[in-house]
Amino acid sequence: MTIILRNMTEADLPQVKALTQQLQWPHRLSDLQQMLQLGEGTVIVDGTRVLGSAMGWRWGDRIASLGVVIVAEALRGQGYGRQLMRNMLARFSDCQVRLHATEMGHGLYEKLGFVVTGQVMQHQTRQLGDVAAPLLPAGWQLRAGENGDLAALTALDYQASGMVRTRLLTRLLTDASLRVLLDEQQQMRGFAVTRRFGHGHTVGPLLATNEASAKRLVSDALCRLAGEFVRLDTPVSRFSPWLTECGLTKVDSPVAMIHGTPWQPQGAQTFGLMSQAMA
């Protein structure tokens, strides 16, 4: 066995998908393709066999996120997970780095300098019931996002997360359903993206200036998805009980971890993640 680490290519993704299936993760091949197109990755290989993976995304000059960190069962406990993580951290050595940790990876990440900053509540249902459309204050509006909204979307995302995700948001405007919430002065109070992922649909990113606006955006998304598989991952613990009331059951709660100084939100908050990998 001759094992090396090298850059991930699109040709590796069918085998990366097989690794995710071993962990019962829901990624479709098209999900992984989109993720790699927006970021980069490392694989552990023995000849043509992919035995481990890690992906990362640089969001502006100061923040990156990591995900799809997997080592095949046959190689676990031999230091390959540490090699993968060191490889990815070296790529983003000038960044604060974020990830969401499974129980299996938590200990390793702590040894590499990551600290726990919170939890993410994963909510989902296989068949969503009827959810009422939101009632809006007088003069407020919910509408489809437009290319002309890109600057405002990027600014709100940055206020909430510190990430500059212009490329991602540009793609979501084309490939997903992005809805914006405007107040009576036509100021953006939040946005929500509904897109295909895994077993069905996921709602996220979801950002808003307050919880009431986030609930309006979620209700607007869910009222269109009756009968569908729906998932929403929220880092806001007080938001979790309301999602349960909407019919989305909490099924998992991985920890959020950061290598570097945490970002302090500035007038907006993330109520739903793009994904646990891409944050």
**Whole-number pLDDT of residue 87:** 97
Tokens at 34, concatenated: 């989109």
Is residue 180 domain-shared with residue 224, that is, in the same domain?
A: yes
pLDDT in tens, 137-180: 999 999 999 999 999 999 999 999 999 999 999 999 999 999 99
DSSP, collapsed to helix, strand or coil, labels residue 133 as: coil
pTM: 0.96
DSSP single-letter state for residue 135: P
Is residue 127 domain-shared with residue 222, that is, in the same domain?
A: yes
**Whole-number pLDDT of residue 103:** 87
Can you list the alpha helix ranges (DSSP code H) found in the chain?
A: 13-22, 29-38, 80-91, 103-111, 150-161, 166-175, 211-222, 240-245
| Greatest Cα-to-Cα distance within the chain, rounded to the nearest angstrom | 67
Q: For residue 31, what are the domain limits?
A: 3-94
**Whole-number pLDDT of residue 187:** 98
Is residue 133 domain-shared with residue 64, that is, in the same domain?
A: no
Number of domains in the chain: 2
Q: Is residue 200 in some structural domain? A: yes
For the residues 18-38, what does the mean pLDDT come to? Answer: 96
Pairing outcome for strands 49-59 and 269-272: unpaired
Residues 83 and 95: their CA atoms lie apart, in Å, by: 19
pLDDT in tens, 191-240: 999 999 999 999 999 999 999 999 999 999 999 999 999 999 999 999 99
Residue finishing a domain among 74, 94, 114: 94
pLDDT in tens, 250-274: 999 999 999 999 999 999 999 999 9
Is residue 139 domain-shared with residue 267, that is, in the same domain?
A: yes
Residues 221 and 246: their CA atoms lie apart, in Å, by: 12
**Whole-number pLDDT of residue 178:** 98
The percent of residues in the chain predicted with pLDDT above 90, rounded, is: 97
Residue finishing a domain among 78, 94, 110: 94
**Whole-number pLDDT of residue 279:** 87
C-beta separation of 265 from 155 below 8 A? no
Is residue 135 domain-shared with residue 235, that is, in the same domain?
A: yes
Residue for token pair 């997970």 = 81
Is residue 168 domain-shared with residue 246, that is, in the same domain?
A: yes
Within 10 angstroms of residue 183's Cβ, the number of other Cβ atoms is 16
**Whole-number pLDDT of residue 1:** 74
DSSP, collapsed to helix, strand or coil, labels residue 224 as: coil
Is residue 80 domain-shared with residue 135, that is, in the same domain?
A: no
pLDDT in tens, 100-113: 998 889 999 999 99
Is residue 17 domain-shared with residue 65, that is, in the same domain?
A: yes
Q: Is residue 118 in some structural domain? A: no
Is residue 90 domain-shared with residue 193, that is, in the same domain?
A: no
Is residue 246 domain-shared with residue 133, that is, in the same domain?
A: yes
Q: Is residue 45 in some structural domain? A: yes
Q: Residue 50 maps to which CATH number?
A: 3.40.630.30
pLDDT in tens, 86-103: 999 999 999 999 999 988
For the residues 46-54, what does the mean pLDDT come to? Answer: 96
Rg (CA), the chain: 19
Is residue 77 domain-shared with residue 182, that is, in the same domain?
A: no
Q: Which amino acid is at 102?
A: T
**Whole-number pLDDT of residue 8:** 98
Q: Is residue 159 in some structural domain? A: yes
Q: Is residue 249 in some structural domain? A: yes
C-beta separation of 60 from 97 below 8 A? no
**Whole-number pLDDT of residue 13:** 98
Is residue 30 domain-shared with residue 162, that is, in the same domain?
A: no
Q: Is residue 258 in some structural domain? A: no
